[in-house]
């Protein structure tokens, strides 16, 4: 699986949240100032080249849809994060979160409970 840029991730998030869309429909969902059609179209074509989306043609209109699930990309991203910043160790990640007060004792108990199941 290939890594996505921030802009590509934002567009993929829209596909994951709203399902199949045309480029025009994606732009309509965006907050102002709305980007040019050509910019979003380029990003979507890159996503298609990276095999994250595919399309169906309806005449001259293309409807794009995700072919990579959000969970799959999330798992890939987390593994990459752990590998690059925590020496491949999930326990190092959890230790970091505890030190930074980004995870509570209750959250840790819940994680432990899930691991035991």
Same domain, 38 and 14: yes
Tell me whether residue 105 is in a domain. yes
Confidence class of residue 114 from pLDDT cuts 50, 70 and 90? confident
Q: What is the pLDDT of residues 72-108, one digit of tens each?
A: 999 999 999 999 999 998 888 888 888 887 788 788 7
Give the chain's domain count. 2
Same domain, 54 and 83: no
Q: Answer yes or no: are the C-beta atoms of 38 and 109 closer than 8 Å.
A: no
Q: What is the pLDDT of residues 7-66, one digit of tens each?
A: 999 999 999 999 999 999 999 999 999 999 999 999 999 999 999 999 999 999 999 999
Q: Which domain holds residue 102?
A: 70-116
State the CATH number of the domain containing residue 50: 1.10.10.10
Same domain, 40 and 53: yes
What's the pTM value of the predicted model, to 2 decimals? 0.81
Same domain, 16 and 55: yes
> Which residue carries 């959000």 as its tokens?
70
Tell me whether residue 1 is in a domain. no
Same domain, 14 and 53: yes
Q: What local confidence, expressed as pLDDT, does residue 57 receive? A: 96
Same domain, 59 and 79: no
How many other β-carbons are positioned within 10 Å of the β-carbon of residue 71?
Answer: 9
């Amino acid at each position: 699986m290939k890594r996505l840029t921030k802009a590509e991730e934002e567009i993929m998030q829209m596909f994951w949240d709203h399902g199949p869309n045309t480029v025009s429909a994606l732009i309509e969902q965006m907050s102002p100032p709305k980007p040019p059609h050509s910019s979003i179209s380029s990003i979507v074509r890159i996503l298609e080249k990276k095999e994250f989306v595919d399309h169906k043609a309806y005449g001259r209109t293309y409807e794009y849809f995700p072919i990579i699930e959000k969970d799959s990309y999330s798992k890939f991203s987390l593994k990459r994060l752990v590998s690059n910043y925590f020496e491949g160790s999930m326990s190092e990640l959890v230790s970091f979160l505890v030190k930074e007060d980004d995870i509570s004792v209750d959250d840790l108990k819940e994680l432990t409970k899930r691991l035991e199941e």
